[in-house]
Copies of this chain bind each other. A is one copy, B any other.
Amino acid sequence: MQVVETIAGMRQVRKQLSGPVGFVATMGCLHEGHLSLVRKARAENPSVVVSIFVNPAQFGPTEDFASYPRDLPRDLALLEKEDVDIVFAPSVAEMYPPGFNCWIAVAKITDRLEGASRPGHFRGVATVVNKLFDIIQPDVAYFGQKDAQQVLVIRKMVADLNMDIKIIALPTVRESDGLAVSSRNAYLNDKERKAAPVLYRALCLARKLWERGEKDAERIRQRMWEVIEEEPLATVDYVSIADPETLEEMDGIRTPALVSLAVRIGRTRLIDNVVVG
């Protein structure tokens, strides 16, 4: 496994890789969710590239860029075990040199959900993924369905900008109590960790209500709110039942629907989703 820190170095190494090249973009602090993407990439491609880059452009000014967990030696050991070919781990200065000022904006679907709660977040995501795609030139890129809106934004960017890259989304990996694995779970103290599965409980309730024939999306949202608010450490940011393509909120349930939420557990903001129908 080769670790490359510069764009010029990555370009050079890329020329030697036999295709197709599978790619997983990460912010490090790797967990089973990332590793499921890496394993799929490994199984499906002769060459696998993983990037590790905590992207400042996707954090708001009051968000956790500085404190976001980083552990490169541990990440590299994990990726070595998965038989990854290349790890691209550039510095912030390498990716955003002084005077950097070109941005990718996917409009409309980014006005909602995470985009509404985190202004500028998806501009940062789309821009860094676009740059990584241009540098690494993968044939296939793997993303986690946990960040459902991110997957949509990246698919839209790839389609609209005619990037010749296949985007594959893989199911959310969960702890045994249902909590979606996430780097931010590391922020939770013991009490908060015990409270955190309330996100998945609310999602399961939505699925159950839907399966039992509840047709009123607003009623399902209310029931989800109630479940979450019963948990003293939890505060709802949003609860959504939306069209999985446009992200427009639904009145009546049509299938399929993207049920998603963002909840603060203490000071840690977590997101999760399921698709019903």
Number of interface residues of A (CB under 8 A): 26
**Within the assembled complex, what's the spacing in Å between the Cα atoms of A95 and B107?**
17
Cβ of A166 within 8 Å of any chain B Cβ, yes or no, is: no
The 0/1 profile, CB within 8 Å of B marked 1, for residues 85-118 of chain A is: 0000000000000001111111111000000000
Contact B135–A102 (Cβ < 8 Å): no
**Within the assembled complex, what's the spacing in Å between the Cα atoms of A136 and B166?**
17
**Within the assembled complex, what's the spacing in Å between the Cα atoms of A103 and B104?**
6
Contact B156–A101 (Cβ < 8 Å): yes
Cβ of A32 within 8 Å of any chain B Cβ, yes or no, is: no
Cβ of A161 within 8 Å of any chain B Cβ, yes or no, is: yes
**Within the assembled complex, what's the spacing in Å between the Cα atoms of A7 and B161?**
11
Task: For the complex formed, measure the closest distance between the CB of A128 and the CB atoms of chain B, giving whole angstroms.
Answer: 10
Contacts A134-B164, A162-B134, A163-B134; A103 near B102 (Cβ below 8 A): no
Cβ of A240 within 8 Å of any chain B Cβ, yes or no, is: no
Top 5 A-B residue pairs of the complex, sorted by shortest distance between their CB atoms: A102-B160, A101-B107, A134-B162, A102-B106, A135-B162
